[in-house]
Amino acid sequence: MKKIITSILVMLAKRAVKRFRPQIIGVTGSVGKSSTKDAIAAVLESKYDVRKSQKSYNSEIGLAMAVLGISTAWNSPLGWLKNIWLGTRVAFGPSARFAEASSRRAGRAGKKFPKILILEMGVDRPQDFDKLLKVARPDIGVVTAIGQIPVHVEFFSGPEAVAREKSKLIKILPSEGTAILNFDDEVVWEMHEKTKAKVFSFGFGTESNLRASNYKIDLSGITFKLARDGASVPIRLSKVYGKQHVYAAMAGASVGLAFGMNLIEISEALQKYSAPPGRLKLIEGIKNSYILDDSYNASPLATHAALDTLGDLQTKGKKIVVFGDMLEIGKYTIEAHKTLGQLAAKYAGYVITAGPRSKFTAEGAISNGIPKENVKSFSTSDEAAPYVKELIKKDDLILVKGSQGMRMEKVILEIMAHPEDAEKLLVRQDAYWLRHP
C-alpha cells in the first residue's frame, strides 16, 4: 500500500513541478539539513513566496508531500486518500490560484503555489538520491556537512559511498544553477569539482566566499559576524546555541545572496530563525536547571559538536551528558562510542548512557578520567530518566542526545520544568510517535 501511495504522490508532485515551474532549492548532508532548510526559509520569506519541507520529512514520499503542500496521514488510509485527492487538485486542478492542497489541519488551504520550494533531501540507502531527483531537480544545491563517519554508513560500502550518493545533488545542477558548499567540511568541499554550476562556499575559513567570525555563546544565544567582499554584518540569534546554527545561518545567507539580497537584509531576516525542536534547544529544567536538548538524532559529527557547545556554555552547576546509542554506523560503532565517551570526559562531570552500544561510551568516559561512580549505564531511555531526575540539582546543565530510535526525548519529558509544553518543545510528540513508545 505504501509503495502505491508513494508512486501516486510522486507522479502528482512531478506534474505540479512541471505545471508551476518553481525555483527549487535542495538541501542535503549528514547533519544540519532541517536547521539549514529553516534558515534558508527565514531568509527568503522576507522577500519571496516560499514553501519548505515539513519537519524532517526528506524521503521520496516526504519530498512529494512538500511539493504538493500536504501533511502526512501516518497510518490512516482515509487520510492518504484525502491527500491523493488534494494532490490531484494541485497537479491537475483548473486554476493555479488555489493550488495549495494543504488540509485544514495544516492551516494553509487556499494559498497559491509558491515561487520557491525549499526541499530537504535525505539518503538512507544507495540509490535513494536517484528517487528524490525523479520528484524534483533543484536549481540550487546546498550541502551542509558529512564528516568522517556519517549516519547511515552501515548501509553503504563506506563513508566515501555516502558522500558520492549525496554529491548527486551537486552533479545534476544546471550550468546556470548554484552549488552552495560548506568549505570547512573537506568531504563536502571536494564536491565543487563535480558540478558545472556556479560554486559558492561558506565557513569559518578565510578562503570561504561567505565567512563567519567572532563567534560567541552564552545562555541567551549566539552572536557572530558574517563577511562577504569586505562588507560585514553582526548577527545575533536569540535562544539558538552552537556553531551548527552558525553554519545553518551561513547557508541561509548564501542562498539569500544567490537571490540578490544584501547582507543587511539577510541579517534582519535571520532574526526570525529559530532552531527546530531537538536541535540544541535550551529548555528550562526541574530544580532550576537547564536542558540542552539535542535529542532529534545522533551521529559522531553532530554529537561531538554538541559536546563542544556544552563546553562553551558556562553554568554554576555541574555538567551532565545523557547519551543514547548512535545507530546505523556499522563497523565504526565501538570506536565511535568510545571516542565519544573520551571526549565527554573533557566537558562533563557525569555521563549517563542508554542502550547497549553506549556502554562503550561509558567505558571511554571512565578511561579518560571520569570517576566510575559518576558514570551510569541503562538499557533504555525510560530506565535512565528517573536516575537523571534524581541527579539534577540547581544550575546544572544537562545535554541529552541520541539516535531517533533511542527516543531520548523521554528523558527530557521527565526532567523538563513544564512538561505541559512538551508538544510544542520536544521532538516526536505526534500521535503516531506517542502510540509507538
pTM score, two decimals? 0.94
- HEC string of 373-432 equals HHEEEECCHHHHHHHHHHHCCCCCEEEEECCHHHCCHHHHHHHECCHHHHHHHCCCCCHH
Report pLDDT for 1: 84
Report pLDDT for 108: 44
Tell which phi-psi region holds residue 250, choosing left (phi > 0), alpha (psi between -120 and 50) or beta.
Answer: alpha
Q: Which residue has the cell 561531538?
A: 304
Cell numbers that stand for 79 in this block: 487520510
pLDDT for 196 beyond 60:
yes
Residue 10 near residue 134, CB atoms below 8 Å: yes
Instruction: State pLDDT tens for residues 315-370.
Output: 999 999 999 999 999 999 999 999 999 999 999 999 999 999 999 999 999 999 99
pLDDT for 100 beyond 60:
no
Q: pLDDT band at residue 436, thresholds of 50, 70 and 90?
A: confident
Cell numbers that stand for 221 in this block: 544565544
With b for 16 or more beta-carbon neighbours within 10 A and e for fewer, the 211-224 pattern comes to bbeeeebeeebbbb
Report pLDDT for 101: 47
pLDDT for 14 beyond 60:
yes
Q: pLDDT band at residue 111, thresholds of 50, 70 and 90?
A: low
Dist. CA 268–CA 300, nearest whole Å: 33
Alpha carbon of 367 to those of 132, 167, 333, 339, 348: distances in Å? Answer: 44, 38, 17, 10, 14
Instruction: State pLDDT tens for residues 38-64.
Output: 999 999 999 999 999 998 899 999 999
Report pLDDT for 343: 98
Report pLDDT for 81: 96
Q: What is the mean pLDDT of residues 213-217?
A: 98
Question: With the CA atoms of 330, 334, 336 and 342 taken in that order, what torsion angle do they form, in degrees rounded to the nearest 10?
Answer: 170
Tell me which long-range contacts 189-192 makes (C-beta under 8 A, separation of at least 24): 190/163, 191/143, 191/163, 191/167
Task: Output the average pLDDT for the chain.
Answer: 95
Cα 13–chain centre separation: 23
Q: What is the mean pLDDT of residues 9-35?
A: 98
Report pLDDT for 431: 86
Short-list 372, 326, 259, 57, CA closest to 68: 57
Strand order in the sheet with 23-28: 50-52, 116-120, 23-28, 140-143, 178-182, 198-203, 210-218, 221-228, 231-238
Question: What percent of the chain has pLDDT above 70?
Answer: 96
Q: What is the mean pLDDT of residues 70-78?
A: 92
Cell numbers that stand for 127 in this block: 540509490
Report pLDDT for 97: 44
Instruction: State pLDDT tens for residues 137-149.
Output: 999 999 999 999 9
Residue 111 near residue 96, CB atoms below 8 Å: no
pLDDT for 12 beyond 80:
yes
Q: pLDDT band at residue 93, thresholds of 50, 70 and 90?
A: confident
Strands 231-238 and 221-228: antiparallel
Helix (H, G, I), strand (E, B) or coil at 289: strand
Cell numbers that stand for 210 in this block: 561567505
Q: pLDDT band at residue 209, thresholds of 50, 70 and 90?
A: very high
Q: pLDDT band at residue 8, thresholds of 50, 70 and 90?
A: very high
Alpha carbon of 20 to those of 91, 113, 176: distances in Å? Answer: 9, 7, 19
H or E, element range at 200: strand 198-203
CB under 8 Å to 319, separation ≥6 — which residues?
A: 310, 347, 348, 349, 350, 396, 397, 398, 399
Domains in the chain and their CATH numbers? 2-272 (3.40.1190.10), 281-434 (3.90.190.20)
CB under 8 Å to 345, separation ≥6 — which residues?
A: 351, 364, 365, 368, 369, 370
Report pLDDT for 168: 99
